[in-house]
Amino acid sequence: MAGPRAAQPGRGKLVYALLVLTAVYCFAFVDRQILNLLVGPIKREFAASDSQIGYLLGPAFIFSYASLGLPAGWWVDRTNRRNLVFGAGIVWGLGTMAAAFVTSYEALFLSRLVVGGSEAFLFPAGMSMIADMFDKRRLPVATSVFLASPYIGGGLALIFGGLVLQWTESLPQVALPLIGGIPGWQFTFIIIGLVGLLPVLLLPTIHEPARDRHDADEAAADTRRYGFVQGLAYMAQRWRYYFAFFFGAACSSLVLTTVSAWAPTFLTRSFGMNPAAIGVNYGSLVLVFGLGGGLLSPIVNAFIARRHPLDSTMRTVRLGPVMVMLSALCLWFSTSQTMALVCLACLTFAYSFPLSMAGTSLQLATPPRLRGSASAAYFVIVSLIGHGVGPTLVPLVTHNIFGDEARVGEALALIAFVFGVLAFCLLSFALRGFQIERGLREHPAVPKEF
C-alpha cells in the first residue's frame, strides 16, 4: 500500500534543481577534460610516451570510475542522492587540485583515480533524481539539458582552460604559501578545481525528490526494491535490450571520448595550433555543436513520436551513429585546418545527438527502483569501453597501422567510422528489445517475450 504522497515542488524549484545538477555535471567534465590540453606539458615534465598519455586520458580515470560504478548505483537506489553527489563533488574537486602537487607520472595517475572514483556517483544519482522530478512528457527535455553537460563542460574546459594554460605556462614557477613553488602549468589544476567546487556548494539548496512520484498511478509501475543480484538478474533476463543497448551506446561513447581526447593533439601536430587557439576555436565548436546536438534531439524525437510513440527515443538514438559515419569519412579527406575543424564540429554534433534520448530510453524501460543501478551499469560499461579503451586506440592505430605518430587525424577518422558501424548494428538489435519492454510496461498483462 503506497503511503501518502509528498507535496509536489513547484515548477521553478524543479527547474532550479535541474540547473544545479547540470552545473555540477558540467564542471565535473571540466575537471575531467582539462587533461586533454595538458598533453604537451605532461610529456615534457615526465618524459611520457603517447601510450602513457593514452593510459592517463583513459584507464587512469576509468579504473576507479568503473570499480565504484555499480556500488554507487546500488547506493543511489537506497539513500539520499543529493547528499551523495555533494560529498562526491567535494572529493573530485580536491582530487583535481591534488594534481598540482605531483612530482611523477605515477602520482598524477593516482590523482586521476581519485577524480574517477568520486565522479562515479554523479551520473546514476543525477539521472535517477531527474526521472523522479519530471513526468514522461517533460523527461526527454530535462534529460537533454542534463546530458548537454559534457559539451558545455568540455567546451568550457577547452576555451577557458586553453587561456588559463597559456597564462600559467608563461609562469616559470608559482609560489604557494606553506608549499613552495610548483610549475606554472600545474597551477591550472588548482584554478579548475576551485572553480569546479562552486556549483557543488549549491547542492544543499535543492531538495531530494520523492521516489516513484510519477509512476505510482501507472498499472505497470514496479516499485519493488531490488537487491544487487536481483537487479543484475532482471537486466540479464532482458538481455535483448540491455546487452545490445549498453554495448551499442558504449561504441558511440568510444567515438566521443577518443575524438575529444585526441583532437587537440591532432590540431597541434597537423596544423601547429597552440593551446589557446585550440581552446578558442575547437572549444567553441564543442560548446555550440555539442549543445546543438543534445538540444535538437528531443525535437527530432517529438517528430518521430507522431508515427512511433512507443519507441521514438530508441529510433532517435540510432540516428547518431549514422551521422558519425558520414562525419568520419569527411574527416579522413580533410586537408586544411578549416576543413578539419568543420569535420570535428560535425563529429561533435553527431556523437552528442543521441545521448539524451539514450538516457531517456533507459529510464523509460527500467522500473523506478532499479533506475540507479541500471544507470550505473550503463555508465560503467559505456565508460569502460569509451574511456578505458578509446583513448588508447589512437597510438595503437598510428603506430601499428600507419607507422606514423603524426597521422592522428586519420586514426580518429578510422576509429570513428568503425565504431559508428558497430553502434548502429547493436542499437538496431536493442530497438526490438526496447519495443518489447516498453510494451510490457505499458500493458503488463501481455505475456513476456524475453
Cα separations in angstroms, 53 against 57, 65, 185, 348: 6, 18, 16, 22
Residue 317 lies in a domain: yes
449 lies in a domain?
A: no
Torsional sign, CA 309, 314, 315, 316: positive
Model confidence at 447, pLDDT cuts 50, 70, 90, reads: very low
Is 261 within a domain?
yes
* Residue 317, domain CATH: 1.20.1250.20
Q: Does residue 336 have a pLDDT over 50?
A: yes
Is 218 inside any structural domain?
no
CA distance 174 to 41: 15
Helix (H, G, I), strand (E, B) or coil at 175: strand
State yes or no: pLDDT of 44 exceeds 60: yes
Q: How many structural domains are present in the chain? A: 1
- 6 located within any domain: no
* Size (the chain), residues: 450
Alpha carbon of residue 440 to chain centroid: 29
Q: Report pLDDT for 333.
A: 92
Residue range 231-270, pLDDT digits in tens: 778 888 888 889 999 999 999 989 988 998 889 889 988 9
Looking at the domain assignment, is residue 450 inside a domain? Answer: no
In a domain, 215, yes or no: no
Q: Which domain holds residue 416?
A: 11-210+228-442
The percentage of the chain sitting over the pLDDT mark of 70, rounded to a whole number, equals 90
What is residue 83's predicted lDDT score, i.e. its pLDDT?
A: 93
More confident residue, 175 or 274: 274
Average pLDDT in the 144-168 region? Answer: 77
Asked if residues 264 and 38 have their Cβ atoms less than 8 Å apart, the reply is no
A 10 A CB-CB count for 304 gives: 18
Strand partners, 174: 182
Tens digit of each residue's pLDDT (9 = 90 or more) over 220-235:
445 555 666 777 788 8
The reported pTM is 0.69
Digit-coded pLDDT (tens) for 393-436: 988 999 889 988 889 999 999 999 999 999 999 999 999 888 87
* In a domain? residue 221: no
Written as nine digits, the cell of 142 is 530535462
